[in-house]
Structure 1
Amino acid sequence: MDHIVFGFAFTFVTALVVIAGDYVLKLAADGNQPMWSGLVMLGVVLYGISAFFWFYAMQHFTLAQAGVAYSMLTLIALALIGALHFGETLHAREYAGLGCALLAMVLMSRLA
């Protein structure tokens, strides 16, 4: 059971770091920042940091479990950030996709 808890914890931290990286990259893109701007470089550094947490997540999960957990967390968080902060509209297909992500997480989770 500890492997599952650690796997989820490292996957969750990985997702949070990548989400922060995506957020600053979106700010840079919307602000027409050049590729070598501070925001873009911060996004790149955050992606690099996430690789360390991802390594530890994979020590506790199968690659499929880690991938599904990470994908679900980032899909939901980025959809919410896009809608709430950047004013992006979510349509029925996005809601269906989010539901599928949650279902995939339930199906891929192993408790033993």
Structure 2
Amino acid sequence: MVIPSGFLFALLTAVLVIFGDTLIKVAADRATLSSPPMFAGMALYAISAICWYYTMRHAGLAEGAVAFSMLSLIALCLIGATIFGEPIGIRQAFGMIFALAAMFFMSQQA
């Protein structure tokens, strides 16, 4: 099975944003706005914007957006729970289920 390059760029974008979000959360909880975690998170956001550009060159907006959103939502919920001790309630659980369902339906051929 060959994964289209647009989806690979979408996944790379999501990974960069996820790590950027995590660093910004660390800065927000434990450091100042001018701390190294904040600057590193912002740098990852900038790099993710370049990856998103390549996603849009190789995939449709809907497909790229769904892949990015699904991975980001699920990963950030799990990171929030495991690293920051944030609870995963029924709303978050259903959000992750619906994100997976959306990705499944968007990947199906019409």
What TM-score, normalized to structure 2?
A: 0.92
Counterpart residue type for residue 76 of structure 1: I
Matches of 2:8 and 2:19, distance apart in 1: 17
Equivalent in the alignment of 2:77: 79
Matches of 1:81 and 1:66, distance apart in 2: 22
Matches of 2:87 and 2:12, distance apart in 1: 27
Unpaired runs of at least 5, structure 2 = none
Q: Give SS of 1:36's match.
A: coil
Residues 2-47 of structure 1 deviation map (CA, whole Å, 9 limit, x = unaligned): 6x5211111111111111100100110110x222222111111110
Unpaired runs of at least 5, structure 1 = none
For the pair 1:63 / 2:61, whether they are aligned, the reply is yes
Q: How many residues align?
A: 110
**Equivalent runs, 1:30-41 vs 2, <5 Å:** 30-31=29-30, 33-41=31-39
Equivalent in the alignment of 1:27: 26
Equivalent in the alignment of 1:14: 13
Matches of 1:46 and 1:9, distance apart in 2: 17
RMSD: 1.7
Q: 2:50 aligns with which of 43, 49, 52?
A: 52
- Identical pairs, percent: 48
What TM-score, normalized to structure 1?
A: 0.90
CA deviation after TM superposition for structure 1 residue 85, in Å:
0.9
Moved over 2 A (4+): none
Residues 44-76 of structure 1 deviation map (CA, whole Å, 9 limit, x = unaligned): 111000011111111121111111110000001
**Residue 94 and residue 18 in structure 1: after superposition, are their counterparts in 2 closer, same or farther (change >3 A)?**
same
